[in-house]
């Protein structure tokens, strides 16, 4: 696989694995680890180890009330982490060129109505991830 | 909808909405004959990949309406009705009367009316107006 343009990221949301890809205009899956200092007396240089990992997912969505709004409203009001998957190259089987990232996102916010007159209705969310991100795919 | 919707389906749907204006001849393609008043959609641009997997394709159309001979008062009166926001002959209202074009697109909006002009054909001068329409498929 060469360098590529993202046009077909497959995104599912919820326990029913609802495919929301057709409403997604942008997605960022990000994971960071805390930096823990391990320097001690006698050290001549700072030493560090990786600490707790913290991840989040940010999605720009196009609004659709019977589908997207209902799905996310229900998840937000339920108040528990929701399973999600992200695959960068469509719904084909997970592989090194299309790894699957599975995780649980905690719906901490929701914006049912957003937009100006004449604009396409959109919504932006950033959810923290509860637990680890599981990456799968042969050779991934 | 979305990636399975064809440009022809959208043009046909726009023509069907335009045809709800009494007396207006609506075409999916530019007609050969000048038989006023008439209207047809012309595709200006398509923006692909508005969402992942072909989830949103944005089409911009210019709908040209040729009203009648510019010197005729009836043509000028027709133009007033066509340009109105609401009313029996409002072009905007007609185009937005079915915003899914029979279920083939997700939504549409008439952005503006502009380019009120005259055009020459068959040794006559006609009044014309363009409506800019954005269609989300």
Nearest CA in chain B to A87: B52
Query: What is the domain count for chain A?
Result: 1
Whether A45 is in a domain gets the answer no
User: Does residue A80 lie within any of the structural domains?
Assistant: yes
Contact of A10 with chain B, judged by CB distance below 8 Å, is answered with yes
Q: Find how far residue B28's CA is from the centre of its chain.
A: 9
pLDDT in tens, A38-96: 999 999 999 999 999 999 999 999 999 999 999 999 999 999 999 999 999 999 999 99
In a domain, residue A44? The reply is no
The three-state secondary structure class of A88 is coil
The reply to whether residue B52 touches residue A62, judged by beta carbons under 8 angstroms, is no
The span from the CA of A56 to the CA of A127, in Å, is 6
Provide the total of helices (H) and of strands (E) in chain B, helices listed first: 3, 5
CATH of domain B2-64+73-136: 3.30.2000
Rounded to whole angstroms, the Cα distance separating B24 from B17 reads: 11
Residue-range definition of the domain harbouring residue A94: 10-32+50-136
Residues 15-44 of B with CB under 8 A from A: none
ipTM: 0.86
Judged by average pLDDT, the poorest of A55-64, B20-29, B73-82 is B73-82
Distance CA B25, CA B15 (A): 9
Summarised one tens digit per residue, pLDDT across range A127-138 is 999 999 999 998
Q: Please give, rounded to a whole number of angstroms, the shortest distance from the CA of B96 to a CA of chain A.
A: 13
Tell me which of A7, A86, A115 to substitute to probe the interface with B (most B C-beta atoms closer than 10 Å).
A7
Average pLDDT, chain B: 94
Of A9, A22, A24, the CB nearest to B2: A22
Task: Tell me whether residues A11 and B52 touch, CB distance under 8 A.
Answer: yes
Q: Quick check: B91 and B114 in contact, CB under 8 A?
A: no
pTM above threshold 0.90? no
Going by pLDDT thresholds of 50, 70 and 90, the confidence category of residue B85 is: very high
Whether residue A89 is contained in a domain is answered as yes
| Tens digits of residue pLDDT in A11-37 | 999 999 999 999 999 999 999 999 999
What residues contact residue A132 under an 8 Å CB cut-off, 6+ apart? Answer: A53, A55, A103
């Amino acid at each position: 696989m060469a360098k590529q343009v993202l046009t077909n990221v497959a995104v599912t949301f919820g326990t029913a694995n609802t495919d929301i890809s057709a409403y997604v205009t942008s997605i960022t899956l990000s994971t960071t680890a805390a930096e823990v200092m391990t320097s001690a007396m006698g050290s001549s240089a700072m030493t560090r180890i990786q600490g707790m990992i913290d991840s989040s997912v940010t999605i720009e969505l196009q609004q659709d009330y019977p589908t997207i709004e209902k799905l996310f409203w229900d998840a937000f009001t339920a108040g528990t982490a929701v399973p999600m998957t992200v695959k960068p190259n469509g719904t084909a089987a997970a592989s090194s060129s299309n790894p699957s990232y599975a995780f649980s996102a905690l719906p901490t916010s929701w914006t049912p109505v957003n937009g100006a007159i004449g604009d396409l209705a959109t919504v932006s969310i950033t959810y923290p991830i509860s637990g680890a991100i599981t990456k799968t795919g042969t050779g991934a | 909808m979305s990636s399975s919707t064809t440009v022809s389906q959208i043009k046909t749907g726009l023509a069907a909405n335009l045809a709800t204006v009494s007396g207006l001849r609506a075409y999916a393609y530019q007609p050969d004959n000048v038989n006023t008043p008439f209207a047809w959609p012309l595709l200006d641009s398509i923006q692909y990949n508005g969402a992942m997997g072909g989830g949103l394709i944005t089409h911009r159309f210019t709908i040209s309406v040729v009203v009648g001979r510019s010197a005729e008062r009836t043509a000028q009166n027709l133009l007033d009705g066509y340009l109105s926001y609401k009313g029996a002959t409002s072009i905007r209202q007609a185009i937005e009367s079915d915003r899914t074009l029979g279920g083939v697109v997700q939504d549409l909006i008439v952005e503006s009316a502009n380019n009120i002009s005259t055009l020459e054909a068959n040794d006559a001068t006609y009044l014309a107006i363009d409506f800019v329409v954005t269609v989300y498929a």
